[in-house]
Amino acid sequence: MTTIKSVAEKAGVSIASVSRVINGTVARGETEERVWKAIKELDYQPNSAARALKVRKSEQICLSFDDLGNPAYVMMTRGVGQALSSTDYRLVLSSAFSSVDEIVKHLETMGRGFADGLIISPIYSDSRITTLLSRLQIPVVVVGTLPIGIDVDNVWVDSSAGVATAVGHLKDTGRKKIGFLNGPIATNPGKKRVAAFLTAMEANSLKLNSTSVIQAEAFSPEAAYSAVKEHSKISNFDSIVCANDQLAAGLMKFCFENKIDIPADLAVVGIDNTDLASLLRPTLTSIDLHAEQRGLIAAQMMLDRLSNPDRPSQKIVVEPTLVIRESTNKK
C-alpha cells in the first residue's frame, strides 16, 4: 500500500513537506510540483488521518466558469453572492479553463487548500475529471449536466424542454420555417440544445433540411454575426431559435444591418433570459433558465454540505420558462 512515506521518498522530500503540500500550507514551487507528481504516479490517496492534519480553512468558496463575461454566469454569480452574503465565506471567481486539461489543473489547485468548496460550471465528461472530483478533499457543487460516474451535489436546468418550448411558441405564432443558431457542438449546451431542436421540430411535424442549423464557433455575438453572414440561406427562415441570448444579439445585429425586419421578416428567440434580452431592440423573447436561482441553490447546497459533510448528494432540477417579448410578435 502506498503511504505518505513512499510519496516523500519518491519526491525526495521529507514527510513533513508532503503533509504541508497535501494540506495547502506550503507556497507553490518546485517542492510542491515534485510532491504532486509523486502522488499522481503512486496513485496515493490521503487517509482520514492525513486529511485531519489540515489546521486551517481558507474561508473561501471558489466559483469557476469557463467564461466570466457570459451574462448568464454574471446572473448566476449574483445568486451565489446573495447566499454567501450573510456568512463569513469570501467568494472567489475563477475563469481559467476552456479545455479538459485546464479543468484538470484547476481541480488539482482546488485540492491544495485554495478554497473550502468549489462551485463549477460547466463540467466535461472525461475520466480524469471524474477521478479528480471523486478524490477532491473539498465539497463540490456542479451547476449543469453532471457526467456519469460523479456523485456530487448538482443543480441543473432542463434546457432541452426550453428549446422545445421555443419551437412550440414559434409554431403557435404562425412560423413554420424555423432554424437554429448554435454554439460549439463539442460543448454540452451545444450538443444538447441542437439535439432538442431537431427532436422538437420532428415532434411538431416541421420540416428540416441540411441548412436548418447554423453553426457558430463560439457562444458570442461576434461568432453569431460571422456564422449568419456566411450562411447563404437565412432568407429561407421565418424564425430562428438561438442557443443563447448572445447568439441572438449577433443575429439581430446582422438583421439590422441588412434591413431584415424583426419580427415581421424573422422572429427570434434566445435562451437564458439574461439582462441583454430586455435591452435589445426589439426586445428579445427568451427562455428563462433561471441562472440567478441556480446560483442561489448551488451556494445553499454548498453551505449545507459544509455543515453536513456526510449527507447524501442532492440533485435539483430547475424548470425553464418562456418570457415573450417583441421579437416574436405574431405575423
Question: Each residue of 141-176: pLDDT tens digit?
Answer: 999 887 777 889 999 999 999 999 999 999 999 999
CB neighbour list of residue 233: distance below 8 Å, 6 or more residues apart: 211
Output the pLDDT for position 46.
61
Residue 194 parent element (H or E): helix 188-203
| Closest to 130 in 3D by CA, of 105, 147, 153, 118 | 147
CB neighbour list of residue 272: distance below 8 Å, 6 or more residues apart: 71, 72, 244, 245, 286, 287, 288, 289, 291
Output the pLDDT for position 331.
65
Residues of the chain with confidence (pLDDT) below 50: 27, 48-56
pLDDT tens digits for range 180-190: 999 988 777 88
Three-state SS for 117? strand
Q: In what order do the strands lie in the sheet with 321-323?
A: 213-215, 178-182, 239-242, 267-271, 285-288, 321-323
Three-state SS for 17? helix
Q: What pTM does this model have? A: 0.77
Q: What is the DSSP letter of 12?
A: T
Q: How many residues does the chain have?
A: 331
Output the pLDDT for position 39.
85
- DSSP state string for 32-76: HHHHHHHHHHHT----HHHHTT------EEEEEES-TT-HHHHHH
Give the up-direction half-sphere exposure of residue 265: CA atoms within 13 A in the CB hemisphere.
Answer: 11
Distance, in Å, from the CA atom of 253 to the CA atom of 88, rounded to the nearest integer, reads 44
